[in-house]
């Protein structure tokens, strides 16, 4: 099925990149409404202010969240072993993410339907959790990829997962949570600074600047940790990049500092962490200079830089196993068949540009700030 110009190994690398593109798409688009959700009760003190903040994301958050759903679907189709082991290995964390993601659609739709103060306060809490919990948990989950997840395979290739929720609370994982939380809060507040009227915009600028400083400290801290004492994984046997997807035929060593190997081999990869750092500094300064549009773009750069930094460090690992490192999942032994990868690639090449085009059109129609004056038009929700 795989032709000469698109062999199995290349397809695997392409699908690793597509997974990255979907994650970045998720962080840049859904990231701002998650970050805004996590902080809107702080930015908006009165109900009208909160309504203005929510109105700025209300028409678009639903589409944004599909980046996440699509990321899940593509992980299932292209990396079924990853989907199986990561989701069952991080069982309770995934359950909590799920609860948070369920709170959002109902929160956005139900909040405005009643004018009761307690009704609205209850949904404000739900929306705050719905934004904040994924922002925190997804970073904790991502950092766990660096630590490895406890799983191994039996003779029928059934993944056996032995982790509990508390495995997730390793200090490095918590640092990952701080990185993602501050990153998305910065992004959401840069968006609010751009899209919402005063006085919320000034508060958002302050929050975004603070969050960018926290992000910088946490990101650099994680970098120092990874380059010094944190154990990384490296493949020590030759691997057939076009072989069948069976993750039990290689040897893997666990060595401190190994997560930086790729950056030594391919120095151009340093561009990713540099983008993250420069983006965060840039977002901070641009907000100070009252240039929210440019600050939002800088913040988007942080999302891409951070995710790429993680991906580059891990490559070719998708999910290292802490109990049986030799059975870790890598790009070369955990994908779908070449046929499925090729068909899905064709579909992605056709439909991703279409999605980006109509999403851009929707954002263009909704351009302009939401101010306290113009929300009264459809205030009350109905």
Partner 1 sequence: MIDFDVVTLSRLQFALTALYHFLFVPLTLGLSMFLLIMESVYVMTGRDIWKRMTQFWGVLFGINFAMGVATGITMEFQFGTNWAYYAHYVGDIFGAPLALEGLIAFFLESTFVGLFFFGWNKVSKITHLLITALVALGSSLSALWILIANGWMQHPVGAQFNYHTMRMELTSFSEVLFNPVAQAKFVHTIAAGYVMGSIFVLSISAWYLLRGRNVAIAKRSMAVAASFGLACSISVVVLGDESGYLDGEDQKMKVAAIEAEWTTEAPPASFTVFGFPDVRARVTHAAVKVPWLLGLIATRSIDRPVLGIDDLVARARSRIVAGIEAYSALQLLRASPDPPDAALLRRFQAHQADLGYALLLLRFTDDPAAATSKQIDAAAGSTVPNVPVLFWCFRLMVGLGLFFIALFATAFYLATRHRFERHPWFLKLAFFSLPLPWIAIEVGWIVAEYGRQPWAVDGVLPTFLGVSRTSVGNVWASLLGFVIFYSALAVVDAFLLVRTIRRGPDGLGFAS
Return the residue of 244, 266, 274, 373 that touches partner 1, per CB under 8 A: 244
What does the block give as tokens for 135?
A: 């922002």
Q: Give the whole-angstrom CA distance, residue 79 versus residue 83.
A: 6
Long-range pairs of 288-293 with CB within 8 A, sequence gap ≥ 24: 288/205, 288/209, 290/205, 292/190, 292/193, 292/194, 292/201, 292/205, 293/194
Spell out the residues 6+ positions from residue 238 whose beta carbon is closer than 8 angstroms to its own: none
| Nearer to partner 1 among residue 10 and residue 359 (C-beta) | 359
Return the residue of 6, 10, 110, 210 that touches partner 1, per CB under 8 A: 110
**Residue 185 touching partner 1 (CB under 8 A):** no
- Please count the CA atoms within 13 angstroms of the CA of 109 that sit on its side-chain side: 6
Q: What are the distances in angstroms from CA 374 to CA 191, 238, 283, 371?
A: 18, 63, 28, 5
Stretch that binds partner 1, among 33-41, 230-238, 287-295, 360-368 (CB under 8 A): 360-368
What does the block give as tokens for 381?
A: 């929700």
Return the residue of 77, 217, 220, 281 that touches partner 1, per CB under 8 A: 77
Q: 330 pairs with which residues across the strands?
A: 317
Name which of residues 17 to 36 contact partner 1 (CB under 8 A).
none
**Residue 102 touching partner 1 (CB under 8 A):** yes
| Nearer to partner 1 among residue 198 and residue 246 (C-beta) | 246
Spell out the residues 6+ positions from residue 195 whose beta carbon is closer than 8 angstroms to its own: 56, 369, 370
**Residue 239 touching partner 1 (CB under 8 A):** no
Least distance to partner 1, CB of residue 223, Å:
30
- The span from the first CA to the last CA of the chain, in angstroms, equals 53
**Residue 237 touching partner 1 (CB under 8 A):** no
Q: Helix (H) and strand (E) counts for the chain?
A: 12, 6
Return the residue of 254, 278, 285, 343 that touches partner 1, per CB under 8 A: 343
Least distance to partner 1, CB of residue 357, Å:
11
| Nearer to partner 1 among residue 224 and residue 362 (C-beta) | 362
What does the block give as tokens for 18?
A: 């597509």
**Residue 240 touching partner 1 (CB under 8 A):** no
Q: Per-residue contact track with partner 1, 284 to 323, x per CB under 8 A?
A: ----------------------------------------
Least distance to partner 1, CB of residue 61, Å:
8
Stretch that binds partner 1, among 261-269, 285-293, 294-302, 338-346 (CB under 8 A): 338-346
Count of residues that bind partner 1 according to CB under 8 A: 71
């Amino acid at each position: 099925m795989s032709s000469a110009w698109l062999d199995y190994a290349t397809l695997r690398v392409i699908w690793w990149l597509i997974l990255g593109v979907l994650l970045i798409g998720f962080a840049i688009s859904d990231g701002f409404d998650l970050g805004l959700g996590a902080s809107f009760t702080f930015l908006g003190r009165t109900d009208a202010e909160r309504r203005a903040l929510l109105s700025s994301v209300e028409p678009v958050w639903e589409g944004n969240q599909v980046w996440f759903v699509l990321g899940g679907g593509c992980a299932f189709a292209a990396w079924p072993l990853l989907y199986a082991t990561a989701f069952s290995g991080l069982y309770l964390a995934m359950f909590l993410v799920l609860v948070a993601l369920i709170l959002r659609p109902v929160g956005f739709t139900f909040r405005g339907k009643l004018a009761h103060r307690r009704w609205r306060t209850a949904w404000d809490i739900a929306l705050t959790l719905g934004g904040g919990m994924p922002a925190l948990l997804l970073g904790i989950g991502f950092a766990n990829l660096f630590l490895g997840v406890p799983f191994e395979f039996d003779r029928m290739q059934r993944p056996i997962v032995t982790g509990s929720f508390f495995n997730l609370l390793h200090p490095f994982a918590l640092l990952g949570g701080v990185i993602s939380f501050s990153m998305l809060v910065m992004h959401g507040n840069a968006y609010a600074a751009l899209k919402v009227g005063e006085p919320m915009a000034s508060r958002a600028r302050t929050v975004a600047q603070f969050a960018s400083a926290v992000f910088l400290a946490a990101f650099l801290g994680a970098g120092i940790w990874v380059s010094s004492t944190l154990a990384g994984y490296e493949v020590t046997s030759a691997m057939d990049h076009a072989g069948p997807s069976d993750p039990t035929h290689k040897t893997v060593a666990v060595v401190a500092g190994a997560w930086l190997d790729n950056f030594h081999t391919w120095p151009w990869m340093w561009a990713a962490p540099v983008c993250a750092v420069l983006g965060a500094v840039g977002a901070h300064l641009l907000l100070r200079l009252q240039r929210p549009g440019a600050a939002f773009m800088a913040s988007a750069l942080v999302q891409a830089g951070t995710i790429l930094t993680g991906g580059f460090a891990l490559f070719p690992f998708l999910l290292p196993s802490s109990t049986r490192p030799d059975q870790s999942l890598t790009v070369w032994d955990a994908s779908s068949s070449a046929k499925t990868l090729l068909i899905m690639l064709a579909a992605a090449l056709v439909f991703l540009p279409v999605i980006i085009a109509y999403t851009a059109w929707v954002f263009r129609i909704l351009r302009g700030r939401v101010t306290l004056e113009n929300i009264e038009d459809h205030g009350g929700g109905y």
